[in-house]
């Protein structure tokens, strides 16, 4: 499967270029694959987005990126790495992705907000990629929907930028034609 090279940052791209790159990315049809469970992958995704195998970090970004394309969330809430012939459980501490960078263009209803993930993927928030906050005992946790069942925790720097936009616009933000009230939900 051809994969786009990971982007270094979003600063040199327009939102139109970012949206085009996000739409061009082709992912394997993991939702259509139904193999039997083969056990545990002995892999874990830490809260900060780091991937581990048997307790050791996976140091090659290309490997993490490849594994991220075959990640799926099961109806029971668990996560698996799936291929047409096998399915292995993977532990996820919070969300499988982390949004590490934010770029915005436009204002009000015309605004578009793009996020770069720790895997190099680019997601433009909108009707298919919603934003929300979960209220927890240690404060609000901001998220972005990446794919059905798979979310990204929005990293601190990107969250501060997003919060600044939301405060300036009255408690929420527009992106790609959708409005997101950024108030914590329980």
**Domains plus CATH for the chain?**
26-92 (3.10.540.10), 97-185 (2.30.270.10)
Predicted confidence band of residue 27 (pLDDT cuts 50, 70, 90): confident
CB atoms within 10 A of CB 150: 17
Predicted confidence band of residue 182 (pLDDT cuts 50, 70, 90): confident
Spatial separation of the C-alpha atoms in residues 179 and 182, rounded to whole Å:
9
Please give the average per-residue pLDDT across 12-39, as a whole number.
73
Q: Is the pLDDT of residue 3 over 80?
A: no
Predicted confidence band of residue 18 (pLDDT cuts 50, 70, 90): low
Q: DSSP 3-state assignment of 66?
A: helix
**pTM for the complete prediction?**
0.84
**66, 69, 80, 186 from 85: Cα distances, Å:** 17, 16, 13, 38
Question: Maximum Cα–Cα distance for the chain, whole Å?
Answer: 50
Please give the average per-residue pLDDT across 35-52, as a whole number.
95
**Selection from 133, 131, 130 nearest residue 185 by Cα:** 133
Predicted confidence band of residue 102 (pLDDT cuts 50, 70, 90): very high
């Amino acid at each position: 499967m051809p994969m786009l090279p990971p982007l270094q940052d979003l600063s040199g791209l327009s939102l139109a270029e970012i949206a085009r790159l996000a739409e061009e990315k082709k992912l394997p049809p993991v939702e259509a694959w139904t193999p039997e469970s083969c056990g545990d992958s002995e892999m874990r995704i830490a809260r900060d987005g780091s991937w581990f195998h048997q307790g050791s970090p996976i140091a090659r970004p290309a490997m993490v990126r490849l594994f991220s394309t075959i990640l799926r969330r099961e109806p029971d809430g668990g996560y698996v790495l799936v291929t047409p012939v096998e399915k292995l459980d993977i532990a996820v501490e919070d969300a499988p992705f982390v949004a590490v960078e934010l770029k915005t263009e436009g204002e009000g209803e015309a605004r578009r907000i793009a996020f770069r993930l720790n895997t190099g993927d680019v997601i433009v928030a909108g009707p298919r990629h919603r934003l929300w906050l979960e209220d927890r005992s240690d404060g609000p946790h901001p998220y972005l929907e990446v794919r059905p069942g798979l979310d990204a925790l929005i990293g601190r720097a990107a969250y501060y930028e997003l919060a600044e936009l939301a405060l300036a616009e009255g408690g929420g933000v527009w992106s790609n034609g959708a409005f997101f009230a950024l108030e914590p939900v329980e």
